[in-house]
Amino acid sequence: AENEPSWETPCSELLVYVSTPGCDGFPSLDSKESYKLSVSKGSMLLSAETIWGALRGLETFSQLVGRDENGTYYINETEIVDFPRFPHRGLLLDTSRHYLPLRAILETLDVMAYNKFNVFHWHIVDDPSFPYESSTFPELSKQGAFNAMTHVYTASDVRTVIEHARLRGIRVIVEFDTPGHTLSWGPGAPGLLTPCYVGKDPSGVYGPINPIVNSTYQFVTSLFKEVSAVFPDFFLHLGGDEVDFTCWKSNPEIRAFMKEMGFGEDYKKLESFYIQRLLHIVSSLGKGYIVWQEVFDNDVKLRPDTIIHVWKENSMQYVSEMANVTRAGYRALLSAPWYLNRISYGQDWIAAYKVEPLSFAGSPEQKALVIGGEACMWGEYVDVTNLTPRLW
Amino acid sequence: RYYEYMFGHSRRRTRGRRPLAARAEPQLFQLQVVIEAGDPGCDRHPQLTSSEAYHLTVTEPVAILKAYEVWGALRGLETFSQLVHEDDYGSFLVNESEINDFPRFAHRGVLLDTSRHYLPLKSILTNLDAMAFNKFNVLHWHIVDDQSFPYQSIYFPELSDKGAYSSNLIYTPTDVQLVIEYARLRGIRVIPEFDTPGHTQSWGKGQKDLLTPCYNGGQPTGSFGPVNPVWNTTYDFMTKFFKEISSVFPDEFIHLGGDEVDFSCWKSNPEVKEFMKKKGFGTDYAKLESYYVQNIVDIVSSYNKGQMVWQEVFDHKAQLKPDTVVQVWMANNYAHELSSVTGAGFTTILSAPWYLDYISYGQDWKKYYSVEPLNFPGSEEQKKLVIGGEACLWGEFVDATNLTPRLWPRASAVGERLWSSSNVTNLQDAYKRLTNHRCRML
């Protein structure tokens, strides 16, 4: 009959050729994800430099396969040369505001792979809860998790996530956000957080991590030593956002320290003091780091290879922030226009799609410092009952 | 099913063991359910006038749930199940209680839209369960619309054959009966809405010569508008169609729709223009719409069904039967609309502030909870005409993948507003109970 597709000999095999082996390794920021896909009569070839590129090509291939009304699988003759524009394409999940069971995280990793995301930014602990089971400091989750039996991530859980991600070419970058966002650390680490004062007396309430006592830095060193070993990626996210200075200001010992150090009334200098020591600790553990933009905004002295995570959004202020960060020579990650937790009615995917990460005033060298971005799904109103339809 | 709800989902892992010595605490052995009316209603369908009041006395050794009709017993059973809680050792406890309860409003509904997106049966049934947990008693089934016609009609099978998204995305007569019965067992009325004359694009696929052909410069454009109000065949069709609907759906009411009728197609059509002249309607197409609606009202009345309509039908001054329920949905100044509708003597239900499909970031349940339906200028008699309200979940951006988390527990805020007394307004207290209730529903 006319107009019937002329079916060729069925293709039965997709040949996958990877030039540089590395199936046992972990993906990194420098991993090459390019691939070539060639589909023609009786021959289907997917070739890539690395296994990570092969994974991307496999996803593309799977999307090209169609099925007709008779149930026959078919694929169009195709020639594809593909590679990512940005090397860091991430998704943030928040497992502190609400605990997410392992299956929710693994399912999210699956969908990330369908969308060629390659970084899982695990915002694992925060003020409301501390679900990370630390081998060095087991009391942290015992006292800080919503439920130390049911709402924790054991070492095995963490390994499962890392491996599940690795098999999909996804890096796991964990974030232990300090010195703010640490209320849940307090119960399991007495003396870590700053006691707030009302007048001359402690109010019973605690604030950010106490930056003036040595015990803090001993604790931080030990914790990050463990975290560095548990999480294989070169990068750690150290947080550093939204540090509220009121508690520090209220504490007489801290005020004395400020005087002693000649910081005056500029608490950003105190924050800077803490962060710099933290960065030094993490560097000496052989890790690189990502920090939220406040760390840059507050003039903390940073190493040149620091990655700044731009998140603040208020009338497109992030555009100038991207310019500032890159002008100062730092690499930048963009999240500000991609806070997917901020739901709204209608097809809001359009606004997210229209974002052009490089639309800021800057030189080509500056623009080259933008390594990518992350969609963020903060957990204040998200748990396993609504995560998937909210995110995808 | 309530036994399962209360005792079947024990989540507690035993952390300690209670001493095995004989218990000193009082024990509750039985909940007796007593239905006082001569005809309890167990084999019938709930109605607007059904009694949902109940009296619950929890004391050892036997608790008593008394209600006039079975519908009240269902409400009381839901309450009792909420009182039962589990302690850390896995024991089930209930506080000694005396509760006298009844709903503030008789019509407490949820609207589901199965035309913009098809909703599989399972979705609808799960939603009926959730409604029962929140003492909702009406499922307003907006079953067909422009986008698709999933209702499989017995008299007019072409409607869904041609109008559904696909042959498996339909509701067969069996499906429909299943929904009605599942709802009935939970004391929930099913009020179907077959919205006309607008919102009917999908009807035209399976029923030729029903919709108005639009014209441009004297020529048909090939596209169609609302149902054609000037042809006799339209009313022949509607007579037969609503005969079926009246027998398929047991509720006393049918929702006729009547919202958002776009007059531009009618205005372009020469036959319609001719008809307008003949009837002396001038250029007031609202009169034509009313003419159409009045005919449908007569048809549906002849089948002994009451009607519900969207507010435009009232606003455009169609002549309605006195017991027509007008649904107020337009958000702009809805208090004023409530005054007008009740001022004209019609019963009304409120949906305007409860369009739950309009999602937004944060705890928007609070604004739904804070609505006071009777906050409008009017006499006591007028206020009595507000028989309730409905939370609407329009389906433009909703299907089975996101319906449940989008609708619940936000709709719970509406449920409490419609059942509870007007002075139950404390948000902090509601927050505590709502968070518990959500976990219980999960």
Q: Is A242 a catalytic residue?
A: yes
Confidence of residue A4 (pLDDT cuts 50, 70, 90): low
pLDDT of residue A237: 98
Contact A381/B at CB under 8 A: yes
More confident residue, A7 or A144: A144
Mean pLDDT of chain A: 96
- Residues of chain B numbered 383-422 and touching chain A (CB < 8 Å): 397, 401-402, 404-406
| A residues 137..156 contacting B (CB < 8 A) | 149-150
In this complex, is the C-beta atom of B126 within 8 Å of any C-beta atom belonging to chain A?
Answer: no
Question: Cα–Cα distances in Å, from B51 out to B63, B77, B342?
Answer: 21, 15, 24
**What is residue A12's predicted lDDT score, i.e. its pLDDT?**
84
Contacts of B360 in chain A (CB under 8 A): 343-345
Torsions phi, psi for B418 (to 5 deg): -85, -25
A217-251, pLDDT tens digit by residue? 999 999 999 999 999 999 999 999 999 999 999 99
What average pLDDT does range A164-183 have in this prediction?
98
Query: Is residue A6 over pLDDT 90?
Result: no
Task: Tell me the pLDDT band of B90, cut-offs 50, 70 and 90.
Answer: confident
Question: Which residues are A236's β-sheet partners?
Answer: A289
From A242, A260, A271, A365, the catalytic residue: A242
Strand partners, B35: B67
Write the class of the CATH domain A88-391.
alpha beta
Q: How high is the pLDDT of residue B273?
A: 97
Chain A residues with CB under 8 Å of B361 CB are: 341-344, 381
Tell if the CB–CB gap between B405 and A385 is shorter than 8 Å: yes
- Rounded-to-integer distance, Cα A204 and Cα A140, Å: 19
Angle between helices B173-184 and B121-133 (to 10 degrees): 10
What are the structural domains of chain B? Answer: 26-101 (3.30.379.10), 107-441 (3.20.20.80)
Residue A10 near chain B (CB below 8 Å): no
Identify the pLDDT of residue A209: 98
* Out of B13, B361, B442, closest to residue A342 by CB: B361
pLDDT of residue A1: 45
Residues of B in contact with A142 (CB under 8 A): none
Look at residue B172 and tell me whether its pLDDT is greater than 70. Answer: yes
Inter-chain touch A344–B362, beta carbons under 8 Å: no
Check residue A317 and give its pLDDT.
Answer: 93
Question: What is the C-alpha separation between B386 and B375, in angstroms, rounded?
Answer: 11
Q: Where in chain A is the domain with CATH 3.30.379.10?
A: 15-82
| Residue A153: DSSP 8-state | B
**pLDDT confidence tier of residue B410, bands split at 50, 70 and 90:** very high
Mean pLDDT along residues A308-334: 96
Instruction: Tell me if B401 and A381 make a contact (CB, 8 A cut-off).
Output: no
Query: Is the CB of A381 less than 8 angstroms away from the CB of B361?
Result: yes
Q: Residue B199: CB partners within 8 Å, gap ≥ 6? A: B145, B146, B257, B259, B260
Give the DSSP per-residue string, A28-88. Answer: -TT----EEEEEETTEEEEEESSHHHHHHHHHHHHHH-EE-TT--EE---EEEEE--S-SE
Using the predicted structure, report yes or no on whether residue B143 has a pLDDT greater than 90.
yes
Q: Is A350 on the interface with B (CB under 8 A)?
A: no
Is the CB of residue A69 less than 8 Å away from at least one CB of chain B? no
Q: Is the pLDDT of residue B286 over 80?
A: yes
Q: What is the pLDDT of residue B13?
A: 45
Nearest chain A residue to B397 by CA: give it.
A346
Q: How far apart are CA B146 and CA B205, in angstroms?
A: 10
As annotated, the residues of chain A forming the CATH 3.20.20.80 domain(s) are 88-391
Cβ contact A72:A355 at 8 Å: no
Q: Give me the percent of chain B exceeding a pLDDT of 70.
A: 96
Contact A345 B362 (CB under 8 A): no
- Interface membership of A349 toward B (CB under 8 Å): no
Best CATH choice for the domain A15-82 from the list 3.40.50.720, 1.10.3720.10, 3.30.460.80, 3.30.379.10: 3.30.379.10
A342 touches chain B (CB under 8 A): yes
B57 pLDDT band, cuts 50/70/90, is very high
Least Cα distance to B107 among B367, B308, B341 occurs for: B308
> What's the whole-number mean pLDDT along residues B303-332?
97
More confident residue, B372 or B39: B372
Q: What is the pLDDT of residues A9-37, one digit of tens each?
A: 677 899 999 999 889 999 999 999 999 99
Would the CB atoms of B405 and A342 count as touching at under 8 Å? Answer: no
